[in-house]
Structure 1
Amino acid sequence: MANHMMMTGFPGFISQRLYRALAADDATTRFTFLIHPSQMEKASRLTSSDPRVTLLVGDITKLDLGVSSEDIKALSETVTHFFHLAAIYDLAVPKDLAYQVNVIGTENVNQFLKSLSSLDRYIYFSTAYVSGDRTGRVLENELDEGQGFKNYYEETKFEAEKRVVALEGVPTTIIRPGVVVGDSASGETIKFDGPYFMLRFLDKLPLGPVPYLGKGNEVLNIVPVDFIIRATVYLAKSEQAVGKALHLTDSSPYPAREIYRMFCRELLAKKPTYNFPKSIAQILLKFSTVRRYLELGPETIAYIYHPSVYDSTEATRILSEGGIHCPDLVDYVPNMVRFFREHRGDSTMKVALQ
């Protein structure tokens, strides 16, 4: 029987690329995308030339995902793989909204899966940052270690992953990416957030000496989206990945200070020359005028400058059998910066700061 893959979160950045990779991997694969009504026009435009794709209007925050009983019956006999990517990824998301989408939405997906009698694999997209405020080495087989959280994004993804782990009778693979950036070859991304806030900040400082924001000795685990896609396609079919949470992270990450220096050298052709205390920067960024001018939020500093190391031993072992590894950041920083430079004036790619 040909694979029938169902996916939430389309047409998001990762889900678009994942669809294309899965379609290229097997020409017989069928797809059903659960599409929020607000995204139907875009989803239709992106898939109109592919007769293997069915677009199904739905909403993960509703019981049965807002899908009719007739559609559920049809899907129950054919869906072999379910990819759950729909979530709110904003670090500054309000608690109620994050809980409704990330936690309740995942609970509804989990219940929906129980109706799929032909399901071979449930691939759930979590994040390495379910570790919250833990410091030191974080293992793939660890989840609830009594940690606190730096924001509601982390907290609700943690709560959602706990519910996926508790799901019985479903072959599950949990994907925990690090900080995902654009394509390592083209630099392409759809949003300048996360590490791109460093570039947005540096772009405001083209003249005079450039400061470091704190010591920045903590490692920042950046991974390009093409690595995430290649790894996910492989893991979705690997029996070794069943029942496991896997860190899709860089096994040799760079300190945040070094990444900042790379960006500065590539964007401004110079190196930072002095330290500006991180504690003072976080105080200044509480003022909205400062945040908007520098295009940098305090939650981003807390996210970037946090001393956690994400062990990826098991993911690396499984992926190495498929010849898949994370590219070295130093090799694709020029592509990231080039794409940023070419598109920095595009307001649709910037996350608005309040």
Structure 2
Amino acid sequence: MKQHTYFLTGYPGFLASNLIKQLLHDHQQDIKQIYLLVLPSLQDKATKEIINLAKTTGHDPSIFSVVTGDITEPTLALEHDINREIQESVTHVFHLAAVYDLAVPKNIAYKVNVDGTENICNWVKTLGNLERYTYFSTAYVAGMREGKIYENELAAGQSFKNHYEETKYHAEVLVEELKQSVPTTIIRPGIVKGHSSSGETIKFDGLYFMLNLLDHISFLPFLPYMGDGKPEGNFVPSDYVLRATSYLAIAPVGKGKTYHLTDPNPYTMHELQKILAEAYLGKTPKGTVPVSWVKSSLSAGPVRKWLQVELEAMDYFTIDASFDCSSAVADLKGSGIVCPDLKDTIGPMVEFYRKYKHDRSKHIQIN
């Protein structure tokens, strides 16, 4: 049996770190080597973490190679001999490196998300033994589109809520063009939250903004709903995204496909607010305040920083989009991998949040 050599960007970030664990768990007999592209400034940290990961998972540290580079540079700024070695051996590339912040400035988002992905796309064309290129996109390349959104759709003249969405869209356009010449799989997760059973996450963003808000307004005599609450909130636990990616990125069925790793049975924002308020504070929201009023309040920096909520997060309360994930569900059938009911994951999520909410390293910087 031919052994595989993997190359990942985005390490030592949360998704890349945990995807490595998932790949080792699912495909360890097939893995010969794993190359991890890291910025020079992160080399020491990445090396220590990968040694620890090898120790805790019982794998030989020699299967990991931490290589320094930069996706924003041509040929990824890889040292010549290392680049040649990788070009001749790598069979699977996983591109996860990106700026995920909803409030990211436009120039930074374009440099990393678009220019970086273009460099990766050009580089994978030079790989002599490539079997699959897997790109981590987002369901929110749909931008401000509303209604049912399908996995085979991308360009529909949409506008975007923020620079993150816009740049991930332009990056996916580049990857989509590559499908004709390179065996490619595009993964579009919903908004990723912590592990479904442990609640573990490394940062409190996305759905956790709602917990941050509840934590800071818990003293109020009653909690109002924000907006009419009709739009769906598509939040998926990290372990579902990782298990599905590990399967679809290797299985022959995934070649040339784009997948929505989204919740097939999502709750509305109204339902989510109720579920979280009851789980975290034991209170049921009453009444409604307009999203425009909340956005107006969050436009003041001190208010944003106190509540620990990004202004841009409020846009997800108003866009009524529904993500069809029929291809993902069909191609995962028989694998045992299914998206859990979000309600069943809220208990561990809240417990983890309570334990670590005072850990400043888990909160993103609000400007």
| TM-score using structure 2 length | 0.95
Gaps of 5+ in 1: none
Q: Name the CA distance, whole Å, in 2 between partners of 1:230 and 1:305.
A: 30
Q: Name the CA distance, whole Å, in 1 between partners of 2:83 and 2:305.
A: 46
Amino acid at match of 2:195: D
- Say if 2:291 and 2:317, in contact at 8 Å, map to a contact too: no
How far apart are 1:259 and its partner, in Å?
0.8
Amino acid at match of 2:44: E
Cross-structure match for 2:161? 150
Q: Are 2:289 and 1:276 aligned? A: yes
- Say if 1:176 and 1:246, in contact at 8 Å, map to a contact too: yes
How far apart are 1:70 and its partner, in Å?
1.4
Cross-structure match for 1:197? 209
How far apart are 1:125 and its partner, in Å?
0.2
SS at match of 2:62: coil
Q: Are 2:87 and 1:76 aligned? A: yes
How far apart are 1:303 and its partner, in Å?
2.5
> Paired residue for 2:248, among 235, 238, 251?
235
Q: Name the CA distance, whole Å, in 1 between partners of 2:27 and 2:291.
A: 49
- Say if 2:297 and 2:303, in contact at 8 Å, map to a contact too: yes
Q: Name the CA distance, whole Å, in 1 between partners of 2:132 and 2:310.
A: 38
Cross-structure match for 1:218? 231
Q: CA, structure 1 residues 75+67, in 2 after alignment: closer, same or farther (shift >3 Å)?
A: same
- Say if 1:200 and 1:295, in contact at 8 Å, map to a contact too: yes
- After the TM superposition, which of the residue ranges 87-96 and 290-299 deviates more from structure 2? 290-299
Structure number having the greater helix percentage: 2
Between the two proteins, the alignment pairs up a number of residues equal to 354
- After the TM superposition, which of the residue ranges 67-76 and 6-15 deviates more from structure 2? 67-76
| TM-score using structure 1 length | 0.98
Amino acid at match of 1:42: K
How far apart are 1:68 and its partner, in Å?
2.1
Q: Are 2:358 and 1:345 aligned? A: yes
Q: Are 2:35 and 1:32 aligned? A: yes
Cross-structure match for 1:318? 331
Identity %: 43
Q: Name the CA distance, whole Å, in 1 between partners of 2:308 and 2:224.
A: 16
Cross-structure match for 1:88? 99
Q: CA RMSD in A?
A: 1.0
How far apart are 1:304 and its partner, in Å?
4.0
Cross-structure match for 1:21? 22
- Say if 2:232 and 2:320, in contact at 8 Å, map to a contact too: yes
SS at match of 1:187: coil
Q: Are 2:52 and 1:44 aligned? A: no
- After the TM superposition, which of the residue ranges 10-19 and 71-80 deviates more from structure 2? 71-80
- Say if 2:227 and 2:317, in contact at 8 Å, map to a contact too: no
- After the TM superposition, which of the residue ranges 219-228 and 238-247 deviates more from structure 2? 238-247
Amino acid at match of 1:259: L
SS at match of 2:288: strand
Q: Are 2:175 and 1:172 aligned? A: no
Q: Name the CA distance, whole Å, in 1 between partners of 2:303 and 2:36.
A: 41
Amino acid at match of 1:204: H
> Paired residue for 2:111, among 97, 100, 103?
100
- Say if 1:138 and 1:310, in contact at 8 Å, map to a contact too: yes
Amino acid at match of 2:217: L
- Say if 1:256 and 1:305, in contact at 8 Å, map to a contact too: no
Amino acid at match of 1:349: K
How far apart are 1:69 and its partner, in Å?
2.2
Once the two structures are superposed, residues 223-245 of structure 1 have per-residue CA deviations (whole angstroms, 9 ceiling, x without a partner) of 00000111011001221111111
Amino acid at match of 1:3: H
Q: Name the CA distance, whole Å, in 1 between partners of 2:258 and 2:336.
A: 20
Gaps of 5+ in 2: 55-60
Q: Name the CA distance, whole Å, in 1 between partners of 2:316 and 2:364.
A: 16
Cross-structure match for 2:57? none
Once the two structures are superposed, residues 65-86 of structure 1 have per-residue CA deviations (whole angstroms, 9 ceiling, x without a partner) of 0012212211122101000000
